[in-house]
Structure 1
Amino acid sequence: MYQRPGEVTVEDLDFPKLELAEQNGRKLEHGVILKVLATNICGSDQHMVRGRTTAPAGLTLGHEITGEVIETGRDVEFIKKGDLVSVPFNIACGRCRNCKERHTGVCENVNRDRPGAAYGYVDMGGWHGGQARYAVVPYADFNLLKFPADRDTVMAKLEDLAMLSDIFPTGYHGAYTAGVTTGSTVYVAGAGPVGLACATACHVLGAAVVIVGDMNEGRLGQAREFGCETIDLSRHDDVAEQIEQILGVGEVDAAVDCVGFEARGHGPKGSAGEQPATVLNTLMDITRAAGGLGIPGLYVTGDPGAEDENAKVGQLGLRIGLGWAKSLYFVTGQCPVMSYNRQLMMSILYDKVQIARNVNAAVIPLDQAPEGYAEFDKGAARKYILDPHGVVAAAA
């Protein structure tokens, strides 16, 4: 649970019920209760823990959930007790216009304040998070992805399958919407778990060259482990020049922002301070005319920890004139996980990709979550999987 900036604790809560306490106990007959098998720490969680959002104290964290169904509501027809499932981090009703058009990241019925909801996240509907031993999932028939393989196969690949709830689809979404395809040259900004997942997705999509930029040498080393070129942004402020040394030209076909609103300036002089528009402006500079920018990196409308008044409300100094002049296109917002998770699940089950290896997954018990948050905040080149019941460690 998030308590205050810099502090995460592990607390005992009551066993969950299929009801909405904030709505006078309204029953969730369309929901299920999961035994959580794996639940990951995400960079988006870290934004809250750093105090960079308006998250309330006592918020149960966690939107990356993989589990086993142990109880079903009266109206659940197709998901059964004992099913092993992945939970998209988007909460979606399956009934509204956006859901029917597969824009599940902006469902109109699961958040009273604005379209879109997620588990355990600030301003995203007030739903309990899944960094817990048990979790509730509403609209289960629509939301849940059931693993079709036998239990032994699922357990053997549980670390990989745990990435389907968010970072693998999110990284894929960034690459796909930027137009990455066979033979593409791509620049991925950020070598955190989402950036590494995006780089993996670029390879899956057939990119010829994937270049990853970051200031963390450990994370850049992880990108090189699976065939990426890298740029150390703590040493170089001219990204186009570095790309030209790799490709012979100073531009790429497509670029993806996997950093978001806590971006820092590039180069020895700039890397110490936040410059939230740096990544977006750099991508506009180094992407070829008529190219695409995928922006799965998180940007917020409220950032109390920002260094200037504009950034506190998500207002950044973008060189939009440059983007317009080059006829670039931009795709932003939450990844609609359901658009990609089944296909990516199949690529995992049939050994076409090893996403857990590429993001350097590290399994830790739930009671070590505070330590995991602290290490991640220091820049650990790992993707932490919390293991509430010891299932992931046992399978490994």
Structure 2
Amino acid sequence: MSGNKAVAYIEPGVVEVQTIAYPDLELHDGPGVDPRNVGRKCRHGAILKVLATNICGSDQHMVRGRTTAPADLVLGHEITGEVIETGPDVEFVNEGDVVSVPFNIACGRCRNCKERKTHICLNVNPARPGSAYGYVDMGGWVGGQAEYVMVPYADFNLLRFPDREQALDKLLDLAMLADIFPTGYHGCVSAGVGPGSSVYIAGAGPVGLAAAHSAQLLGAAVVIVGDLNEKRLAQARSFGCETVDLTRGSPQDQIEDLLGEPEVDAAVDAVGFEAKGHGKDSDEAPATVLNSLMEVARAGGALGIPGLYVTEDPRGVDADAQTGSLKLRLGLGWAKAHSFTTGQCPVMKYNRELSMAILNGRAQIAKAVNAQVLPLEDAPHGYAEFDKGASTKYVLDPHGAFDRFSTAL
């Protein structure tokens, strides 16, 4: 094959569908590729026909110009696909397998991978620990918002679904396993969510909604979701969450109205560095969420922080924000003996168990995040609507894998 349609970042606010090279088992030079990774052979890799690939809030940060992403970077780190070719060193993945691809790229060989810290693999990104497909400063692995993509270390990275037809029937839910379902779940686990707990989740975007559904699976008694966007709050209420309207101000009083006290057992930041202040028409204030979580989390509680924070934000509100330096009330967190968990979610720690919850009808994650399917060529529309605050998780369909569900969708 000679071509491969893919979604590329062009400039702030602009993405377009381009034709790029069909993948092979080597990392070639291109936008964002670390020079030390150019020419890297991937005999251990596989080429996938992409069945589903999602638009993520992390992609949106790049598209808004809030990172140092270069022009023509192919986007997309949420990938579900069918294996169509394997490298000579692949033993356990076969052509025809339907698989989920963790957004973390991991070698399976380094110290961190062996400790299940696949989000900070030491061997796939020469610049720093950790890597991902189609993301700035992550080594330059080509993104999966495309018709075809190459996945390195296939035996280690790919989650195979045992029943192909069952997987295709559940494809919309399984598409959430590459990132947002494990990420939301990780935020809740990190925050100590368990049976009978009260949980406050800041942010009702797709990751926040995934965290809310995860908290329910973990047995939380009350799940409260806060946001400035009423449509997203309505989506949270649609599957049984309580909500806090942050246009009315900080969340403590509203939480007290719901619980009889202003604090919760566990708190999750599903917003990240583009946070706005509380109140109607509030301006950007990057530390707002973290500081408010320290206020509402009980003494001895924990904060799960799956929301993205960056080391470089060229459009940050001030010089500190541009280097990821936030004005945190660390003294408050210290006084309340809070624990904090940050960083990418180690997807492989959770994705098999969550896939079983989906396949056995225990999780309806696509419904929770209001997943909607678009053809690949409509990706620019999906990005534009998501940027406007749509309460939707957009799933791109490069090959018509969802055509069988067209009447339902």
Task: Give TM class, smaller chain.
Answer: over 0.9
| 1:85-96 superposed matches below 5 A | 85-96=99-110
Alpha-carbon offset, residue 24 of structure 1: 5.5
The residue matched to 2:18 in structure 1 has which SS? coil
| 1:87-106 superposed matches below 5 A | 87-106=101-120
The alignment status of 1:13 with 2:20, answered yes or no, reads: yes
Alpha-carbon offset, residue 207 of structure 1: 0.1
Structure 2 partner of 1:71: 85
The alignment status of 1:137 with 2:137, answered yes or no, reads: no
Alpha-carbon offset, residue 395 of structure 1: 4.1
Instruction: Give the ranges of 4+ consecutive aligned residues of structure 1 lying more than 2 Å apart after TM superposition.
Output: 22-27, 393-396
Structure 1 partner of 2:4: none
Structure 2 partner of 1:216: 229
Structure 1 partner of 2:271: 259
The residue matched to 2:244 in structure 1 has which SS? strand
TM-score, scaled to structure 2:
0.95
Alpha-carbon offset, residue 353 of structure 1: 1.0
CA distance in 1, matches of 2:394, 2:161: 22
CA distance in 1, matches of 2:313, 2:92: 41
| Paired residue type of 1:388 | P
Do 2:250 and 2:292's aligned partners in 1 also have CA atoms closer than 8 Å?
no
The counterpart of 2:191, out of the listed 178, 186, 196, is 178
| Paired residue type of 2:235 | Q
TM-score, scaled to structure 1:
0.98
Do 1:363 and 1:393's aligned partners in 2 also have CA atoms closer than 8 Å?
no
The residue matched to 1:322 in structure 2 has which SS? helix
The alignment status of 1:384 with 2:390, answered yes or no, reads: no
Structure 2 partner of 1:291: 301
| Paired residue type of 1:191 | A
The residue matched to 2:255 in structure 1 has which SS? helix
Counterparts in 2 of 1:254 and 1:25: CA distance versus 1, 3 Å: same
| Paired residue type of 1:389 | H
Alpha-carbon offset, residue 307 of structure 1: 1.1
CA distance in 1, matches of 2:206, 2:262: 26
Counterparts in 2 of 1:26 and 1:186: CA distance versus 1, 3 Å: closer
CA distance in 2, matches of 1:330, 1:390: 42
The residue matched to 2:301 in structure 1 has which SS? strand
Structure 2 partner of 1:364: 374
The alignment status of 1:162 with 2:169, answered yes or no, reads: no
The counterpart of 1:46, out of the listed 56, 60, 63, is 60
| Paired residue type of 2:257 | Q
| Paired residue type of 2:330 | I
The residue matched to 1:12 in structure 2 has which SS? strand
Do 1:387 and 1:393's aligned partners in 2 also have CA atoms closer than 8 Å?
no
Unaligned runs of 5+ in 1: none
Counterparts in 2 of 1:24 and 1:8: CA distance versus 1, 3 Å: closer
Alpha-carbon offset, residue 392 of structure 1: 1.8
| 1:223-302 superposed matches below 5 A | 223-234=236-247, 236-268=248-280, 271-302=281-312
Structure 1 partner of 2:32: none
| Number of equivalent positions | 392
CA distance in 2, matches of 1:94, 1:26: 17
Alpha-carbon offset, residue 20 of structure 1: 1.8
Identity %: 68
| Paired residue type of 1:316 | L
1:318-351 superposed Cα distances (whole Å, 9 cap, x missing partner): 0000000000000000000000000000000000
The counterpart of 1:330, out of the listed 308, 332, 340, is 340
Alpha-carbon offset, residue 25 of structure 1: 3.4
The residue matched to 1:362 in structure 2 has which SS? strand
CA distance in 1, matches of 2:404, 2:20: 25
Structure 1 partner of 2:315: 305
The residue matched to 2:340 in structure 1 has which SS? strand
Structure 2 partner of 1:199: 212
Do 1:17 and 1:136's aligned partners in 2 also have CA atoms closer than 8 Å?
yes
| Paired residue type of 1:367 | E
CA distance in 2, matches of 1:115, 1:353: 32
CA distance in 2, matches of 1:324, 1:24: 44
Alpha-carbon offset, residue 372 of structure 1: 0.3
What RMSD over aligned residues (CA atoms) do the two structures have, in Å?
A: 0.8
CA distance in 1, matches of 2:343, 2:275: 17
Do 1:85 and 1:146's aligned partners in 2 also have CA atoms closer than 8 Å?
yes
Counterparts in 2 of 1:369 and 1:289: CA distance versus 1, 3 Å: same
Unaligned runs of 5+ in 2: 1-7, 30-36
20-29 or 186-195, larger mean C-alpha shift: 20-29
CA distance in 2, matches of 1:28, 1:173: 30
CA distance in 1, matches of 2:166, 2:404: 14
| Paired residue type of 1:366 | L
| Paired residue type of 2:303 | L
Alpha-carbon offset, residue 179 of structure 1: 0.1
Counterparts in 2 of 1:74 and 1:176: CA distance versus 1, 3 Å: same
